[in-house]
Every structure is written in C-alpha cells, then in structure tokens.
Amino acid sequence: MTRAERIAIGSIGLGCLVLALKGAAWWISASAALYSDALETTVNVAASTIALYAIHLAAKPADDEHPYGHDKAEFFGAVIVGVLIFIAALSIFWEAWKEAWAPHLLTLSGRAIGLNVAATVLNFVWSLHLTRQGRRLRSAALAADARHLMADVVTSVIIVVGVALVLLTGRASIDPAIAALAGVYVLYSGVRTVSTSVGGLMDAAPDPAVVARIRQVVSDAATGALEAHDLRSRHAGRLAFLEFHLVVPGNMTVAESHAICDRIEAALKAEMEYLVVTIHVEPEVKAKQHGVPVL
Ligand code: ZN
Ligand code: ZN
C-alpha cells in the first residue's frame, strides 16, 4: 500500500468520525441547519472513497495496455470530487435562498454547537495535512479531497457565525447573506479543482517555473552538445514526461552522444525524480537555433 493510499484511508476514517459527531449534534438539537451540515459530511466520506479508489488505480504499475502508467486516474478522481464541491456550493445557495425568503430564528443548544465545532476543527486540521501531503506526493486526488474538506469547514463556520450574528443583532437577513458569500468561495474552490484536473487530463505543461528550471538544467548538463530544441513536457499525476531533440556534432560517436544524454537525464532526475525523459539525438545540420542554447 502506498503512502497516498494510507492517507486516503485516514480521510475516510476521519470522515466517519466527523459524521458521528455532526450526527450527534443534529440528534441533540433537531436543527435543520445541523441536519444539512451532517448530510454534507456523508458526501465527504464519498469524496474520500473516490479519492482512495483513484489513488489505488493510479498506483498500479505500467502494463501492456497502459504503457505510460495509470497516473491520470487521479485526475478523474479529482474531477469527480470537484463536481461534488460544485454541488455543495449549489446546495449552500439553495439554503441561503430559502432562508432569505422565509427566515427563521435558529435556536441551538451549547452542546450541539460544541460537537459541531469539534468536528469542524478536526476537518480543518486534516484538510491542512491533506493539502501538504497532496503537494508532497504530487497527488491530485488528495489535493482535491483537501479542497472538499476545506469547503466543508467554511460551510460549518458560516452556519455557526450566521446563527451567532442573527442572535446578536436580531436581523435574520444576515444569515443568508453570509451563507451566499461562503457559497461563492466553495464554488470557486470547485471550479479550481475541476480546472486543474482537466488541465492534467489535457496534458497541460508543468508550472512555468518548473519548465524554466528544466531548460536551465538541460543547458547546464549538455556540455559537448550544440543545441536542444522542440522541448515539450506534460504532467500526468505523479509523473511528468519530458522530451526534446539534442543536436550534437555530426561526427560524434553514438557512445559519446549517449553519454551526454545520460548526464542530462541524471542531472534532471537528481532534482525532479518524477520526470520521465526521452531525448532524440540529431546531427548539427538539423540545428534550429531557437531551442535551449547549450554552452
Ligand atoms: Zn530536431
Ligand atoms: Zn540510454
């Protein structure tokens, strides 16, 4: 089992715990707001399960049918989780709309709020952990799960803040206004999750900073070659693929040019071990003079 899979299983376990806490809060208070909050947590558990399945698929080694590996499965998982975030945003807007037309003062017991706050703190801490691990393990599915949890935290916070403000000011219109604001945040979070994952599915280039660094490393390590051009890179989940043409003097031996390729590959791997490099060697008549200058 990979580390990402273990973390995803942890997410499901935490989701169940949070669900139990929020369910208890609803049981005590019989509040509609807490009911919808608990209901949303079942979606959390579903999202974490989807993330786990996607990570499990992505971890399978390359085979004859998928010679480039299964890493992109993570993007599919992340898109589905992104759509769930989207739906969460719509349900917040719907609740806010209903509240705006038919406001009603909520009464919540201290114990119910306490349970809900404890569940939200757990979600918040785990979401930060997931965000960090998602970045470290280059896992799109974990990152999406983290965004989904954070959307849940925001929803829970506005429910509590909204109720508190209504109780303090006596103005029932504040609650739906705050809910709508949080809905905008959750919507944005969903759009970002979907768009980054679709970018991965469409073979989007890595960050410009990463591409610039790749060009620099190639340029530094290619001593003996004349030029590198047609450099293309794309990221596919954990891995990123890089290919380019390396122009060498026409009379250089195959062994010599291959040694240059090995040196470039080693230098790239030393910094970015997730990079899969393919280099096409060609003689100097092919030089284009518009690629990465090799000194
Ligand atoms: Zn070429
Ligand atoms: Zn080789």
Q: How far is the centre of ligand 2, averaged over its atoms, from the C-alpha of 209 (Å)?
A: 27
Mean per-residue pLDDT for 64-91? 89
pLDDT in tens, 226-272: 999 999 999 887 889 999 999 999 999 999 999 999 999 999 999 99
pLDDT band, residue 288 (cuts 50/70/90): low
Count of other CB atoms within 10 angstroms of residue 263: 15
- The ligand placed nearest to the CA atom of residue 232 is 1
Cβ burial, residue 52 (10 Å; 0-12/13-18/19+): buried
201: Cβ–Cβ under 8 A, 6 or more apart, which residues? 72, 75, 76, 79
Angle at which helix 110-136 crosses helix 140-169, to 10 degrees, equals 150
pLDDT of residue 253: 95
Q: How far is the centre of ligand 1, averaged over its atoms, from the C-alpha of 76 (Å)?
A: 34
pLDDT in tens, 8-33: 999 999 999 999 998 888 888 766 66
pLDDT of residue 25: 83
Q: How far is CA 174 from CA 104, 163, 164, 185, in A?
A: 11, 9, 10, 17
Q: Please, are residues 206 and 240 in contact by the beta-carbon 8 Å criterion?
A: yes
Task: Classify 172 as helix, strand or coil.
Answer: coil
Q: How far is the centre of ligand 2, averaged over its atoms, from the C-alpha of 207 (Å)?
A: 27
Q: How far is the centre of ligand 2, averaged over its atoms, from the C-alpha of 255 (Å)?
A: 10
| pTM to 2 decimal places | 0.79
- Compute the distance between CA of residue 195 and CA of residue 79 in angstroms, rounded to an integer: 8
Q: How far is the centre of ligand 1, averaged over its atoms, from the C-alpha of 280 (Å)?
A: 8
Q: How far is the centre of ligand 1, averaged over its atoms, from the C-alpha of 226 (Å)?
A: 12
Q: How far is the centre of ligand 2, averaged over its atoms, from the C-alpha of 282 (Å)?
A: 15
- The ligand placed nearest to the CA atom of residue 244 is 1
- Compute the distance between CA of residue 154 and CA of residue 174 in angstroms, rounded to an integer: 16
- The ligand placed nearest to the CA atom of residue 287 is 1
User: What is the H or E stretch that residue 52 is in?
Assistant: helix 32-58
Instruction: Domains for the chain: give ranges and CATH numbers.
Output: 3-201 (1.20.1510.10), 208-293 (3.30.70.1350)
- The ligand placed nearest to the CA atom of residue 254 is 2
Sequence-ordered alpha helix ranges (H) in 102-173: 110-136, 140-169
59: Cβ–Cβ under 8 A, 6 or more apart, which residues? 2, 4, 5, 70
pLDDT in tens, 167-191: 788 777 777 787 788 888 888 888 9
- The ligand placed nearest to the CA atom of residue 279 is 2
Q: Half-sphere exposure of residue 134, counting CA atoms within 13 Å on the CB side?
A: 23
Closest by Cα among 41, 39, 47 to 8 = 47
The answer, yes or no, to whether residue 291 has pLDDT greater than 90, is no
Q: How far is the centre of ligand 2, averaged over its atoms, from the C-alpha of 40 (Å)?
A: 52
The answer, yes or no, to whether residue 34 has pLDDT greater than 80, is no
pLDDT band, residue 157 (cuts 50/70/90): confident
- The ligand placed nearest to the CA atom of residue 262 is 2
* Length of the chain in terms of residues written: 295
Mean per-residue pLDDT for 113-134? 92
- The ligand placed nearest to the CA atom of residue 258 is 2
- Compute the distance between CA of residue 167 and CA of residue 202 in angstroms, rounded to an integer: 49
- The ligand placed nearest to the CA atom of residue 227 is 1
